[in-house]
Structure 1
Amino acid sequence: MSGVAWHYVIKFIITGDAAVGKSSLLVRLTDQRFLANPDPTLGVEFGSKLITIAEENKIVKLQCWDTAGTESFRSITRSYYRGAAGCLLVYDVTSRQSFTNARTWLADVREHADPHLTCILVGNKVDLCTPSSDTPASANRSREVSTEEAELWAKEEGLLFVEASAKSGENVEAAFETATRDILGKIQRGVFNDDRSPGVKLSKPKNTDLTLEESSSKGGCC
């Protein structure tokens, strides 16, 4: 992989109800820390991350757009759906309403995003319904959406599925990596094309050798 900073740049959107932990998932991915009390997202927030898909021998730069979960920003966030190759559709496992509303978010994504977009359903906050020594009993909540129910709906809708915790980091990178593997498979099959799919960009080899670290960066879109 000498001379290549990354092989592909892939655009992701993160969508779902407000307060399901979308911003915390993004910060966990990019900064490896937990955002306990994030401010509400106004419009969109951006983060990027280099990941390595070892079995494909590929380095991928993820460009992730965390979208607001309130109706007042819906027209703004829809514009970011266009050209996305991947989507994290997030709900809170302790909130049935957020799971029910995921249907509306999915319909919105499918209406405005690339028809070939890879979507992974992410049940966040599993730490809240799993007692642990460092979590006060008062902080525990009852699970309102079973793994089996969410997995079945994801299968019916053709979605990938994982449960995760932005607090502990459980399955956060795995969610993005699983979706990225699916997107790379679509690239190999010609579903996504560098010339016609704005959500996937092929990197051109450079003449200089680079030492890569799986580090994160945050900032404006490049």
Structure 2
Amino acid sequence: MAGYRAEDDYDYLFKVVLIGDSGVGKSNLLSRFTRNEFSLESKSTIGVEFATRSLNVDGKVIKAQIWDTAGQERYRAITSAYYRGAVGALLVYDVTRQATFENVERWLKELRDHTDPNIVVMLIGNKSDLRHLVAVSTEDGKSFAERESLYFMETSALESTNVENAFAEVLTQIYRIVSKKAVDASEDVGPTALPSKGEKINIGGKDDVSALKRIGCCSN
């Protein structure tokens, strides 16, 4: 489109949400990944902020709109709006605080109550740099992820370990699902079924992701 500025020139826009207890490092993961490019207008009113960053995946420009909220009970009222349209999620716990891992199940239930069943979810054990304080083993995180068909990584926002990998993996898996659906649709009814440039994508269909999740879970 002639009116686009360069930073708005993208093929797909995917909404990804960060969830998990307060203090697990969600905001630091966001700022690390997006290079501190924040959009703060809504923070004071509804306790939410989002930032964007574009990545290249298979020759396409994927713009990620990543939403972050305080993981506190007083923000429960924003739940449905926060999750609406999300096609990916990073479910974050702090490897040094067992309670934040125990609450992952509650966050996952809430996520599944408010999103499409095929949302791409990655379980993140953050603060892996604090090795001497680790309370949640890698094996515990991995086994929960396998049980729930989630992807899994341990990250350190402080040391920038796996932050890029985690977001990139989620966005790549979303793109693969969407592009497969677009190809399937175009075979059925012709090229008009392909998403238009910059269209926001919501994933539908029940079985598209399950095989991907099982194959991709816990791999590097």
Find 1:103's aligned residue among 102, 105, 108.
105
Q: List, as ranges, runs of 4+ consecutive aligned residues in structure 1 with deviation greater than 3 Å.
A: 39-42
Q: Which residue of 2 aligns with 1:160?
A: 151
Amino acid at match of 1:7: D
Matched, 1:23 2:23: no
Q: Aligned equivalents of 1:40 and 1:153: distance in 2? A: 35
Q: 1:145 to 1:57 in 2, by over 3 A?
A: same
Could you give the per-residue CA deviations for residues 9-53 of structure 1, whole angstroms, max 9, x where no partner exists? 1000000000000000001011169xxxxx999621110001122
Q: Aligned equivalents of 1:28 and 1:10: distance in 2? A: 18
- The offset of 1:186, in angstroms, is 1.0
Matched, 1:176 2:163: no
Q: Which residue of 2 aligns with 1:120?
A: 122
Could you give the per-residue CA deviations for residues 133-168 of structure 1, whole angstroms, max 9, x where no partner exists? xxxxxxxx5211111110111011010111001111
Q: Percent identity?
A: 41
Q: Aligned equivalents of 2:44 and 2:162: distance in 1? A: 23
Q: Identify the structure with bigger relative contact order (alpha carbons < 8 Å, sequence gap 6+).
A: 1
Find 1:61's aligned residue among 28, 47, 63.
63
With structure 1 as the length reference, what TM-score do the two structures score? 0.73
Amino acid at match of 2:152: F
Map 1:1-222 onto structure 2 (within 5 A).
5-31=9-35, 43-53=47-57, 56-129=58-131, 141-190=132-181, 202-203=196-197
**Partner SS, residue 10 of structure 2:** coil
Q: 1:30 to 1:102 in 2, by over 3 A?
A: same
Could you give the per-residue CA deviations for residues 76-97 of structure 1, whole angstroms, max 9, x where no partner exists? 1332112100000000000110
* 1:43/1:77 contact within 8 Å kept: no
* 1:67/1:77 contact within 8 Å kept: no
With structure 2 as the length reference, what TM-score do the two structures score? 0.74
* 1:11/1:84 contact within 8 Å kept: yes
Q: 1:181 to 1:142 in 2, by over 3 A?
A: same
Report the RMSD for the aligned CA atoms in angstroms.
2.9
* 1:40/1:68 contact within 8 Å kept: no
Amino acid at match of 1:109: L
**Partner SS, residue 103 of structure 2:** helix
Q: Which consecutive unaligned segments of at least 5 residues does structure 2 have?
A: 1-5, 38-42, 186-194, 200-220
* 1:12/1:86 contact within 8 Å kept: yes
Q: Aligned equivalents of 1:78 and 1:158: distance in 2? A: 23
In proportion to residue count, which structure has more helix?
A: 2
